[in-house]
Structure 1
Amino acid sequence: MSRSLELRQNVVNQMIDALIQGHISSPLPPQAALAEMFNISRTTVRNTLAHFEQRGVLQKVEQCYLIVRPPVADDGFSDIYQPVASQTALFEQAFFQMINQRQLKPGDIFSELKLAQSVRVSPVVVREFLLRFCHYNLIEQVRRGHWHMKKFDQDYAEKLFELRKMLETHALNRFINLPTEDHRWIQLRDLLDRHRQMRDSIASSYRMFAQLDKEMHSLILSAANNPFFNQSLEIISVIFHSHYQWDESDLKSRNIIALEEHMAILTALLSRNDVDAHCELHRHLTTAKQSMIRSIKQYS
C-alpha cells in the first residue's frame, strides 16, 4: 500500500470516529479548518470528503457538506487499526514516553488528532485515555479535542506521595504473606540479582534504572491483587519514577541512592523480615518525596 493511500484511509477512519463522537457536526467546517484539524493537506481533505459523499454519508449542497446519515464501521477501512485493547496499550506507552522524553512539557497544548496520527491509533482511543488521565489533574481540556499539560506544586506532590505510601505499604504487607511457593519470590530474587549487576555498571547505565524501578514497584503492588492499584502505578511512574518536571543534573546520584535503597528492600523481603522491609520502603519513599519537593521548589 502506498503511503498516500494509507494516509487517506487513516484519515477516513479518523473522520468516522470524529463524526460518531460529535466532534464534527453538520454542516461540516470549511476544508481549510478540516485540514488544520487533521493536520493534512486540502487535497487529502477533498479526497476524504469525496469518499464519504460516494458512501452516502455526506451530501454536497453548494459549497457545504451536510451529514446525510451517521457513518458506520463499513464506511472505513478495517485493516488500518489494531484491536482497541492493543491500541490503548500502544498509546499509553507512547504517551508516557512523550512525557519522559520531554516531547510533552508543562504548559504545552496538544491535539487529540495529532497524537492519534503520530502513534497511528484511533482518535477515540486517545480521547478515552485522556479523559481517564485528566482525573489526576495533570492535564485539562481547553477546547474540544485540545488539552493543556499542567504543572503541579508541592501540595500536589505531597498528596500523590500519600497515595503512593498507602498503596505500597498495603501491598508490601500482602507480599510478605505470600506463600513460599508463589512465583513472585523467584521474580524478587531475579530482580535483586539484576540490581546487583546494575550496581557494577551504574556509572554508565544509570539511565536504565527507571525500568528496574518500575519493575520492582510493579512486583510489590502485584501482591495486592487489585487492578485499581495497577492503574495508579502508571501515573506514579510518570511523576516519581520518570522524574517528571525534574532537573536531570543530579539524576545519576539520585539513581545510585535509589538503587541501594531498592536492594535493601529486596533483601529484607527475601529474608522475610517485615520490620526491616517496611523501614526500608519508608526510607525509599521519603527520599523520592524529598527529591521531588526540592526540584519543584527549584523550578517553580
Structure 2
Amino acid sequence: MSRNPTLRQRTINQFIDCVLKNILTFPLPPLITLADMFNVSRTTMRAVLVHLSDTGVLNQVDEQYYLQRKPTEQDKMNGIFEEREVQDQHFENYFYHLINSHKLLPGDRFDEIQLSKDAKVNPIVVREFLLRFLHYGLINNYEKGKWALIIVDKDYAEKLYEFRSILEIFALRSFMAQKNDHINWTKAKELLQRHKNLQQNINNDYTLFATLDRDFHQLILSSNNNPFFVQSFDLISVIFHFHYQWDNSDLKQRNSVAVSEHIAVLSAMLQKDETKAIAALCKHLNTAKMSMRESIDRSLKIKNR
C-alpha cells in the first residue's frame, strides 16, 4: 500500500486515462519502467497495479500484467487532485518554453510520455494538447506516442496570415465596441504601460517580448468571447509568435519594431479611434508576415548550402 493515498489515487486515475486513450500497450512494461513513466516510486506503482488487478481491470500472469477489461470512469478514485485546467496551462507554458528556448526545433521528434514526465503532468494532458495542432498540419504523429514538428513553408505562412488578419481585425472591432467600464480597457492600459517599460530597456530585455506579444494578441481576441477564436490563437501563436523566432539573427531589431507597433495599436485603441487602431494592427500583422517570410528564406538558404 502506498504511504501517500492521494498520490496513489491520482496515479490510478492517470493510468485509467492512459488505458482509455490507448496510450499504454499490453502486456505492460516492467514495473520500473511504469514507475518512471508516471513519475512515481515503484512502491506506489505496485500498489496501483494491485488495486487495478483487484477490481478486475488487469490480470496478472506470472510477472506480466494484461488488460482483462476496459476500465470506465466509475473505476476512478475519488480524491483531491490538481485541477485539469492547471495542468493544461502548465504544459502549454512548458511546451512553448521548449520552442522559444530552441530546445525543440523544426523537424525534431519527441515522445509524449517523455514530455509528460519532464513537465510532470498527466500523459493525457500532453496527448490532447498535441492533438489540437495535428489537423492544422503543424505537427505529425508518425507513430503511436511519437511526434514530429513540421517545418512551415511560405505558402502555409501566407494562408495563415490571411486567416489571422480576418480574425484579429474582427476581434478588434468587437473590442472597440465594448462599454467604457469594461475590464478590458483597464487591461489595455496596463498592457500599454508594460510595452513602454520594455521599450525603455529594449537593448537588454528584448527577449522578454515573447510573453508581451502573446498577452497583446490574446487581449484583442478575448474581447469576442468566442472559443473558436481562442483555439485559433493557439495555432497562430505557435507559428507567428514562436516559429519565426527560430532564426534569431535579427531578433532584437524585430522585437523593437514589434513593441513600437503594439504601442501604436494600444494607443489608438485607448483613444477610441477604431480606424486608426485597425490601420495600426494591419501594419503590425503585415510586418509579422514579412518577418516570417524572410526567416523562412534564410532557413532555406542555410539548408541548401
Contact kept? 1:31, 1:46, Cα under 8 Å: no
Structure 1 counterpart of 2:139, one-letter code: I
SS at match of 1:225: coil
Contact kept? 2:39, 2:120, Cα under 8 Å: no
Question: How far apart are 1:154 and its partner, in Å?
Answer: 0.5
* 2:284 corresponds to 1:284: yes
* 2:98 corresponds to 1:115: no
Contact kept? 2:34, 2:45, Cα under 8 Å: no
Size of the alignment, in residue pairs?
298
SS at match of 1:181: coil
Q: How does 1:96-245 map to 2 (within 5 A)?
A: 96-244=96-244
The answer for unaligned runs of 5 or more in structure 1 is none
Q: 1:74 to 1:286 in 2, by over 3 A?
A: same
Structure 1: how far apart are the matches of 2:93 and 2:3?
Answer: 25
SS at match of 1:242: helix
The answer for unaligned runs of 5 or more in structure 2 is 301-305
* 2:67 corresponds to 1:82: no
Question: How far apart are 1:251 and its partner, in Å?
Answer: 0.8
1:220-279 per-position Cα deviation (integer Å, ceiling 9, x unaligned): 222222121122222222222234453112111111111111111122222222222222
Question: How far apart are 1:80 and its partner, in Å?
Answer: 8.3
Contact kept? 1:57, 1:70, Cα under 8 Å: yes
Structure 2: how far apart are the matches of 1:106 and 1:80?
Answer: 39
1:7-59 per-position Cα deviation (integer Å, ceiling 9, x unaligned): 98876554433323333455x15539966993989x78994655644554333
Structure 1: how far apart are the matches of 2:128 and 2:157?
Answer: 25
Structure 2 counterpart of 1:183, one-letter code: I
1:133-173 per-position Cα deviation (integer Å, ceiling 9, x unaligned): 21221111111111111111001111111111111111122
Question: How far apart are 1:284 and its partner, in Å?
Answer: 0.8
Question: How far apart are 1:295 and its partner, in Å?
Answer: 0.3
1:104-133 per-position Cα deviation (integer Å, ceiling 9, x unaligned): 222222222111222222212222222122
The alignment-based identity, stated in percent, is: 42
What corresponds to 1:295 in structure 2?
Answer: 295
Contact kept? 1:59, 1:68, Cα under 8 Å: yes
Contact kept? 1:8, 1:44, Cα under 8 Å: no
Cα RMSD after superposing both structures: 3.3
Structure 2: how far apart are the matches of 1:183 and 1:10?
Answer: 37
Structure 1: how far apart are the matches of 2:265 and 2:130?
Answer: 34
SS at match of 2:135: helix
Contact kept? 1:218, 1:233, Cα under 8 Å: yes
SS at match of 2:246: coil
Q: How does 1:242-261 map to 2 (within 5 A)?
A: 242-244=242-244, 246-261=246-261
Structure 1 counterpart of 2:129, one-letter code: F
